Amino acid sequence: MRILGSVCLVLLLACGGDDDPGVGDGGARDATADADARDDGGSIDASADVASPSLDCIGEELTKVFVLATELGTATPTSHLLRFDPETLTYTDIGVIRCEAEGSLLRSMAVDRTGTAWVSSGRGALFRVSTTDASCTATGMELGQHEIRNYGMGFATVGTSSEERLFITAEGGWWMDGLAYRRLAEIDRSDLRIDMIGDIDAPTPANMELTGTGDGRLFGMVLDVRNLRNIVVSVELLDADTGGTIERKVVPLAARGGFAFAQWGGNFWLFTEAPDGRARAAEFDWESGEMLRTVDVALDVPGTIVGAGVSTCAPYDLI
């Protein structure tokens, strides 16, 4: 895929096209199941899924990275939930995600400490997906809060405690004139209300995703597409209380199709699409600012990786 075409797909999703078959912060959807879901995201009691201490970080699987892969270019794009092991560079296909997203595409994902993946659609609907069998449940979150529709997501703990927060980065296309292009916010999982935090210093236009650690740090991956011939990817350490940038490092990686990232073991894994169209996983060393390795070989991924999430149970001590 040519870089220009891939970026156009990224921008389409970032700008909130409800029926976009492209790539961006997240993925695409086969809207065929969960009969109880509605256009507003359903009517499930949100408080039922708030993390219970007895379910915290149980199982080695929660230390791995989960990714959302979508078979694009088909009449009904199908999304798969995969588990990626950064140590063995292997993927396990957990199953097909069947969320009723009303024709919109799934686009971003974050994983909590109980093994639930929180997945958003291009219309802003929020779903809970099991990382055990990929089953999907609508949350019933009210759409259009603060005029937000498209957003990237990531969990980070409160300090080194087991309490965690679900952060989102809202895109500026839905903000009134005079406001920042990107803003940091938080979804309160007890009542699914969105609380604004502050402005993010990001270029216009840009796409952004989030990932966090078990010691309270929040990072953002930014794709600066102001110059389509010289796309710049960077990773930023964010102030979770204000949205401000504490430190920014440019990633020496050519951006193409796909857009997802997650921290693991002190480094960051960036998932994009290789020039031959196959899935690519690249490991970025935060401390040195260098790429450690890029895996372009056949990894047997069904489609393009368009979303990623890692729980705060994952190792992080090298960052």
As averages over each run of 10 residues, the pLDDT of the chain (319 residues) reads 37 40 35 36 39 66 91 80 92 92 84 95 92 96 89 95 94 51 91 94 80 96 79 91 95 78 95 72 93 76 85 85
Sheet holding 151-157, edge to edge: 151-157, 164-171, 182-188, 193-200
Name the DSSP class of 3. Answer: H
Identify the pLDDT of residue 161. Answer: 94
For residues 191 and 142, the answer to whether their CB atoms sit within 8 Å is no
CA distance 133 to 301: 17
Please give the C-alpha separations between residue 38 and each of 17, 126, 184, 256, in angstroms, as whole numbers.
19, 11, 27, 34
Identify the pLDDT of residue 247. Answer: 96
Domain boundaries, the chain: 3-44+59-310
For residues 282 and 269, the answer to whether their CB atoms sit within 8 Å is yes
Identify the pLDDT of residue 308. Answer: 95
3-44+59-310 belongs to which CATH class?
mainly beta
**Residue 188, SS3 per DSSP:** strand
**Strands, E assignment, the chain:** 65-71, 78-85, 90-96, 106-111, 116-121, 126-130, 136-138, 151-157, 164-171, 182-188, 193-200, 206-212, 218-224, 232-238, 245-251, 260-264, 267-273, 279-285, 290-295, 304-310
